Amino acid sequence: MIKYELKCDKCETTFDSWFPSSKEYERIKKLKLLCCQNCGSSDVKKSLMAPNLSKNKKNFVNKDNYKFYKIRKKIKDYQKFIKNNFKYVEKNFSHEARSLHYGKEKNIKGIYGKASLNEIKELNEEGINTELVPWINDKEN
């Protein structure tokens, strides 16, 4: 939907009207179906005001994108930190976490990898602390 401010040439009343699109506005105007809400004249013109898009949809999208971008950046910074400071163990996470916890491997600071929720629950029950981290997989890495 697109909103235009229309102005009557005869009585100079201005009023807003919604159209499905700018093309549709032109079509309706050509057919002389536009008429003044005040005097009924068909000498109605679009005023010079810039058209407003319905509900500022465009702005909302941009705002959301920005928010998402910020969150994404935070997660990526976190990922970077983890990658630099922890050992990646892929799917062996619960095995490696146990090794670490029970002291079989002492040279690593920490590990990260993939684990199912059940595995994490089991680890927690054994007193092994884990932390869930939102993870973004992208092609750059």
Which residues of the chain form contacts with Zn ion (CB under 5 A)?
8, 10-11, 13, 36, 38-39, 41
Minimum gap (Å) between residue 50 Cβ and Zn ion: 23
| C-alpha 111 chain-centroid distance | 31
In the complex with Zn ion, which residue's Cβ is closer, 38 or 62?
Answer: 38
In the complex with Zn ion, which residue's Cβ is closer, 42 or 92?
Answer: 42
Whole-number Å distance between alpha carbons of 128 and 121: 9
Q: Which amino acid is at 124?
A: N
In the complex with Zn ion, which residue's Cβ is closer, 10 or 80?
Answer: 10
Minimum gap (Å) between residue 36 Cβ and Zn ion: 3
End-to-end CA distance of the chain: give it in Å, rounded. Answer: 41
Q: Which residues make Cβ contacts (< 8 Å) with residue 29, sequence separation at least 6?
A: 44
Question: Among the residues of 1-141, which ranges form H helices?
Answer: 22-30, 57-85, 93-101, 117-125
In the complex with Zn ion, which residue's Cβ is closer, 8 or 100?
Answer: 8
Minimum gap (Å) between residue 41 Cβ and Zn ion: 5
Facing residues of 47 across strands?
none
In the complex with Zn ion, which residue's Cβ is closer, 13 or 17?
Answer: 13
Minimum gap (Å) between residue 25 Cβ and Zn ion: 18
Whole-number Å distance between alpha carbons of 26 and 29: 5
Minimum gap (Å) between residue 21 Cβ and Zn ion: 25
Whole-number Å distance between alpha carbons of 46 and 28: 12
